[in-house]
Amino acid sequence: AEAASNVPTDALVVSASKGIEISTLLRMDEVLGQILPEQIMDRFCVLSGPGFAIEVAGHAPTAVVIAGRTTEAAKEAQNIFQRPYFRIYTNTDIVGVELGGALKNVVALAAGITSGLGYGHNTIAAVITRGLAEMTRLGVAMGGERATFSGLAGMGDLLLTCTGDLSRNRTVGYRLGQGESLEAILSDMKAVAEGVKTTESVYELARGCGVEMPIVEQVYGILNEDVLPAAALEMLMLRESTSEEWS
Q: Give the whole-angstrom CA distance, residue 209 versus residue 192.
A: 28
DSSP bridge partners of 187: none
How is residue 53 annotated by DSSP?
H
Please name which of 213, 198, 205 lies closest in space to residue 103, comparing C-alpha atoms. 198
For 164, left (φ over 0), alpha (ψ -120 to 50), or beta? beta
Q: CA 17 to CA 169: how far, in whole Å?
A: 15
Catalytic-labelled residue, pool 18, 75, 104, 190: 104
Residues paired with 48 in a beta bridge: 65
- Residues 64 and 2: their CA atoms lie apart, in Å, by 31
| Helix-strand-coil split of the chain, %, nearest 5 | 55, 10, 35
- Give the integer Cα–Cα distance in Å for 67 and 28: 13
Query: At what angle are helices 168-177 and 94-116 packed, to 10 degrees?
Result: 30
Q: Is 104 one of the annotated active-site residues of the chain? A: yes
DSSP secondary structure of 114-128: HHHTT--HHHHHHHH
* Helical (H) or strand (E) element with 64: strand 62-68
Integer Cα distance of 107 and 103 in angstroms: 7
Active site residues: 104
